[in-house]
Amino acid sequence: MQSTYGFILLVLINVSGTKQAKNYSAVLLNRLEITERYRRDMLTRPSMKNSSHTIVAVGLGIIEVAGIDPQKQVITLNVNFELKWCDDLLQWNITEQTCLKRNRSEIFFQADEIWTPDIFAVNGPGPMKKDARLEYPILVVCTGMARWSYQEKLVSYCEIDVLNFPFDRQYCSILLQSTIFDASQFKLRSLYNVVRLYNYINTEWEISHTTIDEVDLYNPNHKRHFSTLKIDMELVRLSRFYVLKIILPFGIISSVAVFSFCLPTGSGEKITLTVSILLSLIIYLQMISNFVPKTERGFCTLTLYSNIVFILVFLSCIFNTFTIFIYYHDQYSEKHTAPKRKKSMLLTVHKSLIQLNKQRWIFLRKRRNIDENLPENSNIHGIELLHDIQYFRQSLTNLFSRRNSVITATSLTSFDLRHPLFYP
């Protein structure tokens, strides 16, 4: 019984293998026939019988914004293209049951075996040196419908404005068209109404809005109109990284310089604090220089902010230096000018006292009796006058022997100690 089941199973395997081999040989024959057609008509533009021009439907999906270069004014995108077109040279067994509805047979072709549309970004620097599209196969149905999906790095020129960096928005346009066929021979149509985001990787840029339009643009070099797909994008930079990495730490470090004005001048830490902050900002500027876009078309807000903060800290360092200079200059000048001022004052007092003594002795020599030589109607006693003069002399000596004298040398020079009594 088991041998009977084994025999039946072997027969079924042989029958199915023969059927698969037959189908495989049919696909191979169809493939060879189609490639032979394209060998004869490699440059023939595909078209259906009821159409005079080739229609290619383009579906674009953005995977990632690889980068934006402000210096070269270029945007780089990793995109996924999905192209569909009809070609009567790719038909086989149209009338048979295998090519109707659900039972359609399919064949994969290499990109260099059949005709493929040449679609590039005409407003870009040009295609890559190695065309990676040729590595992706093309699915062809027996009705002549071809479908080609591939990933490519799309490079296009874009006017980059970094004035509001890192809170900027960029508006870019990509123009896709054929480089050979004009609008009378080749038509580009949008496969979807929008630009799709295939698992979009949200790195630095967020695509907030996209539109796709079908237009015919005039080429002045060829003097013809070309069918074009115009893709407009609005990109918003994600600024959280720059706020937490650059703006916030930079502001905190620079704000410490304000506290240098609160330190006492005699402590000697005002200059140390401001110079330390200044050196910290210099090192931090070198670290963040790689994050700031380099362009000659204008200064961005972040560069202006960092320069203003750096200048303010530098000015605070200069003001603190000037404050300390004035503080110690007053003490130094007062310390060195005080002995000279005291010496001048004592010399003036000494001269005045000598002059007073001379006047007194001259008076005693000429007038032996002081009371007789006093003016009439005078109630001044001569001995009391001499005691007053002696007391006045002692008071002046004590006054100018003090350490903190407030009388200047100029006022002492103009001070006259002579009494009109001794000068008749």
- pLDDT tens-digit series, residues 358-399: 766 666 665 555 555 555 555 555 555 666 666 666 666 666
Query: In 3D, which of 92, 118, 96, 105 has the Cα closest to residue 37?
Result: 92
The full set of domain ranges for the chain reads: 1-40, 45-238, 242-332, 338-422
**CATH number at 45-238:** 2.70.170.10
> Has this prediction a pTM greater than 0.85?
no
The set of residues, in sequence order, having a beta carbon less than 8 Å from that of 326 and lying 6+ positions away, is none
Query: In 3D, which of 119, 88, 375 has the Cα closest to residue 227?
Result: 119
- Mean predicted lDDT score pLDDT of the chain: 75
Asked if residue 120 lies in contact with residue 174, where contact means CB atoms within 8 angstroms, the answer is no
- pLDDT one-digit tens code per residue, 128-179: 555 778 889 999 888 888 999 999 989 999 988 888 888 999 999 999 998 8
369 burial (CB, 10 Å; 0-12 / 13-18 / 19+) is exposed
The answer on pLDDT for 214 being more than 70 is yes
CATH superfamily of 242-332: Neurotransmitter-gated ion-channel transmembrane domain (1.20.58.390)
Q: Are strands 54-69 and 186-190 parallel, antiparallel or unpaired?
A: parallel
